[in-house]
Structure formats: C-alpha cells, structure tokens
Amino acid sequence: MRDHYNLEKLIKILPVLARTAGGYATITDSEGRRLCTFDWNGTEIKDLDNQIYDLARNAGQQACPLIGVSQIVDQADAWALPIGEYVLACSNVERLIKEQKFQDALIKALPMIAQVAGGEAVIFNDLGERLLSYYSNGSERHQLKGQVSKQARQAMVSQEPVVGKSFSINGAMAVRIPITEKIGFGFNNENAVRQHQKLYDEVKKFQNAKYCFEDIIGESEVLTKTKSMAKFVADGVSSILIYGETGTGKELFAQSIHNASDRRYRSFVALNCGALPASLIESNLFGYEEGAFTGAKKGGSPGAFEQANGGTIFLDEISEMDISLQTKLLRVLQEREVVRVGGFKAQKIDVRVIASTNKELNDLIADGGFRQDLFYRLNVVQLKIPPLRERVGDIGLLAKHFMHKFSFSFGRLVEDIDPRTLKLLQNHAWPGNVRELQNCIESAMNMVREESTLLPEHLPLYLRQGQKTLKESVIVEIGNEELNLKEALSGAEKLIIQKALEMAKFKKVKAARILGISTATLWRKLTEYGMEGDNQ
C-alpha cells in the first residue's frame, strides 16, 4: 500500500516536472521500464509505457543519479534519479526544439541582419567555425565557410560577447555573440568602412597622397624616433631630404608628412627621377609650351611643379637626376618660379619639396655627379629611414599586417604566424626591406591551403634555402690594396644581382621581386654594371 501511494504521488509530480524542465518526465521501475510519461504540455504519452529507458535502468541498478541523453529526441540532455523502487527521469527536449527553431529563424534573418548592420553577418558553432555568412546585399558568402575564428571561439568559451577587428576588411570592427552553448552569430560594419575609405580616396584623388603616419607599421625605438621627427617637421615649409635604402618606405613618409601639414588639402605630386630619361623628366617637371618639341600637346601642358602649386612635390631617386636638370631645378627652388620648356614666361609657385635618395649624395658630389648647392637647398631637413634589419622587432608586426591584408584578398583565414616562420623572417637580411617582406608574405599566402597558421613551407624557397647561397654570393676578395669601400660594395651588389638573376632564371621581373626593388631600378643597375645583356 505504501509503494502504491508513492507511485501515485510521483505520477502527480510528472506534469509539473516536465513543464518546468521543458521536456519529457517519466517514472520507471528499477529495471528502467516506463510506467508513466508526460510531455511539457502536460499530456500523458501512453505509447511509451513498458518501454525500457536505458538511462533509468542504469541509475536503478547503480542506485545513484546519472546524467545522459534523451531516448526520445536526439541530442537532448536528460537525468535519472532513483527513488525507492522507482526511477524518476527528465529531459530538456523542449529547450532543444526551441533552440533549433531559434537557429532556423536566425538563419532566415541573417541576410537582413547583414543589411541592417551594414556588413557581413555570420553564424558559427561552439568551436568558432563559420557555418553560414551573408553579405549586406543578401548574397551568401562561400569563401571562408568552415574557417575557425579565434575571437568567435573565445566568445563561445566565455559565453560573453567579444568585440574586435573584423577579418573581412581592414579597419572594420566586428562583434561575436554567443546565442546558446552551441551556436553564436557575429556581424561587422564593413559597408561603413568601405564608404569612409571611398570618401577618403575621393578627397585624396587630386593629391594622390593616401598614407598617413598611422599607416607606418612598427614600434621599434629607431622607427618611433624617425616618425616623431617627421611629424615635428611636417608643419614647416623647409625642404626635406629623405635617406633610405630601397623598399624602406620613403614615399610613405613623404605622403605622411604632406598629410600632416597645412598643405594636406592641396596637391601631392610624385615624380621618380630615375624612371624616365632626362628629356621626359624635364617636360614632366617644368611642363612645356605648344610646339616645344615633336609630339607636344596642343596648348602645352603643366609640369609637376605647376600641378603641385600650393602643395607638395616629391622627387624620388633625386640622385638619378641628370646634372643639367639639377641646374634648372636649383633655379626653380631659388626663384620660386618655373618656366615651361619652349616658353619664356615665368610662373610663380608655392611648393614644398621633399626629395629622397638611396645613395650617399656627398659621394656623388665628390665625384661630380651631384651639385653641392642643390644638395644644400634640398638638405635643409634630413630624415633617415632605418632599414628593416635595424628594426627586427617590427618584422612580426609587418608580417601580420601584410598577412591580414592578403587574407581578405585571397579569401583565406590565416590568423597566426608559426614561431619557426617568424624566426626565418627575423633571420633574413632583407636587402629589399619592407617591400621585399610584403612580396614574401604575398608569395607565402598563395601557398596556403586549409592552414590557419603561416608555416615555414609557405615561404619562398630562397628564404628557406637560399640564405646561405646569397650570403656566399656577397663575399668579396679584397686582395688589392687600392680596392676601396665603394668598389667593394659595388662588387658585392653586382654579385647579389647576378645571383638573383640566376635564381629567377634571368627573368628580370622575378629577379627584381627577389631583390625587393622595382624593375626600373634593376634595369638601371644592370646598365650601370654593364649586365643588361645577361640572359644566360
């Protein structure tokens, strides 16, 4: 009679327990045989009577509470509790069903979320793995499906929203929000960033200076001091001469100085003095009148100084300028006026001059290759850009910056750099400096498949295996007492170029990429060393 009373009492509890738990509640005997079962709506499910519930049977046999899974609905959690000769069991099926309905609704709403948020909207699982994503225009994005985001994983583990940088576009921010323990979603402000960048580019279109000091990546002491000095002199009017090896970012500094000055809303005009012959440099610098030479445009054309009036002119590779043009340039700087080729009328100009060189101008002056008075005009403020080998600590920051840049372009989610890869990068001499590093990371990103970490095998072969060969190629035998430092350096440079040509199978564009220099610079050096005919 006592047992019958207990069973009736337990059966009365089942509807309340099922509703509270949001699932099924059942009472079984000690063998796990279902005696009575209710769902979360309070309805008795007689079809389940006498069925064996394994979790309840195990709990009855072990005489202890157990946690397991529902035998009615897959993936639903359940528990079983022995009470005398019976076992009370309950599951959370309704919660699972509600979660699935919510997930279905979220998937349906994802394109709308993307549109309202103005960017990409993503659903991810408990591992941070992308399950589904949409652009703001309603189209599904397939490139990064299956990729794992560390920040999404962090949000799921902590069950707290995580805000951080978006992986889709540089400058965008994203939020990752856990919805349940198994699913979360995120979105970014990609559209706003793109629109802002487009507006910024429109403002900069006429002056062609898109970089600011914030774009110069690095935290090393030597770079920080250089940036501080550049910022300090940016508001001045004096000419600036920037020294730096090929690929160190001399134009990046020139543009940043312009954009930090009062002239930032006026034109920024850049001219590479080593890329064109003297005749073309002259007409590009000073402009020309109609009929000045064969092929001259009707009405003539303004030169770089006229185009930069009120703004800044950047003369890259000033050391390569022909000596006759140096004389004309000196006059422009002294008189602050320019006369077009084939013309007679002088036009007043207000232009700040920033020049750059990768050569020591004092040596050129001593050899008669550069005017000393022009040097004094240009070298009012001297700025030296440190080579990458002098700021090894910045290599990791730069590599990650380029890696994230190319990750979006290539649709590959690569978030980390393997320590072995970083060591290889830090041990390299980087004769082509930051430009060479950027080319190296771009090459490596082309080799990535499903990996989320940049590995040594992704790096270019010359970086992994060619270091010893390149080092051997710069050994110069100094057996002649008359061989000076300049000749030794020239010999070493010639050997390095020869080795790069061999590694590139004498393809000039590829050799220039290996050296981290422009093709025009390579051709100039080949001509200088009498190597322009090297093809075997």
CA 383 to chain centre: 27
Q: How far apart are CA 270 and CA 253, in angstroms?
A: 12
Do 76 and 93 meet the contact criterion of CB atoms below 8 Å apart? yes
103-134 burial, b for 16+ CB within 10 Å, e for fewer? Answer: beebeeebbebbbebbbbbbbbeeebbbebbb
User: Residues near 314 by Cβ (< 8 Å), separated by ≥ 6?
Assistant: 251, 254, 255, 258, 268, 269, 270, 271, 354, 355, 356
Task: Please provide the DSSP assignment of 196-210 as one string.
Answer: HHHHHHHHHTTTT--
Distance in angstroms between the alpha carbons of the first and the last residue of the chain: 106
Could you write out the three-class secondary structure of 435-448? Answer: HHHHHHHHHHHHHC
Do 370 and 364 meet the contact criterion of CB atoms below 8 Å apart? yes
Q: How far apart are CA 167 and CA 379, in angstroms?
A: 43
Q: Helix, strand or coil for residue 15? A: helix
pLDDT at residue number 204: 40
Strand 416-417 relative to strand 453-454, pairing = parallel
Q: Which domains does the chain have, with CATH numbers?
A: 2-91 (3.30.450.20), 96-192 (3.30.450), 206-383 (3.40.50.300), 387-465 (1.10.8.60), 468-536 (1.10.10)
pLDDT at residue number 206: 44
User: Residues near 14 by Cβ (< 8 Å), separated by ≥ 6?
Assistant: 25, 26, 27, 36, 37, 38
- DSSP E strand stretches across 42-161: 66-69, 77-83, 86-91, 121-125, 130-134
Q: Tally Cβ neighbours within 10 Å of residue 1.
A: 5
pLDDT at residue number 310: 92
Rounded average pLDDT per 10-residue block, the chain, 536 residues: 65 91 91 93 92 94 91 84 92 79 85 86 90 86 81 92 76 83 87 62 54 93 96 93 93 94 90 73 82 61 88 92 90 92 88 94 91 94 94 94 86 88 91 91 89 90 63 48 61 80 79 78 81 59
- DSSP E strand stretches across 358-451: 381-384, 416-417
Q: Tally Cβ neighbours within 10 Å of residue 205.
A: 9
Task: Please name every residue paired with 535 in a beta bridge, in sequence order, or none if there are none.
Answer: none
Token pair, residue 256, equals: 């940043």
pLDDT at residue number 293: 56
Do 521 and 246 meet the contact criterion of CB atoms below 8 Å apart? yes
210-233 burial, b for 16+ CB within 10 Å, e for fewer? Answer: bbbbeebbbebebbeebbeebeeb
Strand 121-125 relative to strand 130-134, pairing = antiparallel
Q: Tally Cβ neighbours within 10 Å of residue 422.
A: 17
pLDDT at residue number 535: 53
Cα atoms in the Cβ-side hemisphere of radius 13 Å centred on 459 = 21
- Tell me the residue type at 41: N
pLDDT at residue number 419: 93
CA 23 to chain centre: 48
- Tell me the residue type at 392: V
Do 118 and 191 meet the contact criterion of CB atoms below 8 Å apart? yes
Q: Helix, strand or coil for residue 213? A: helix
Q: How far apart are CA 139 and CA 115, in angstroms?
A: 10
Q: How far apart are CA 526 and CA 519, in angstroms?
A: 10
Cα atoms in the Cβ-side hemisphere of radius 13 Å centred on 97 = 13
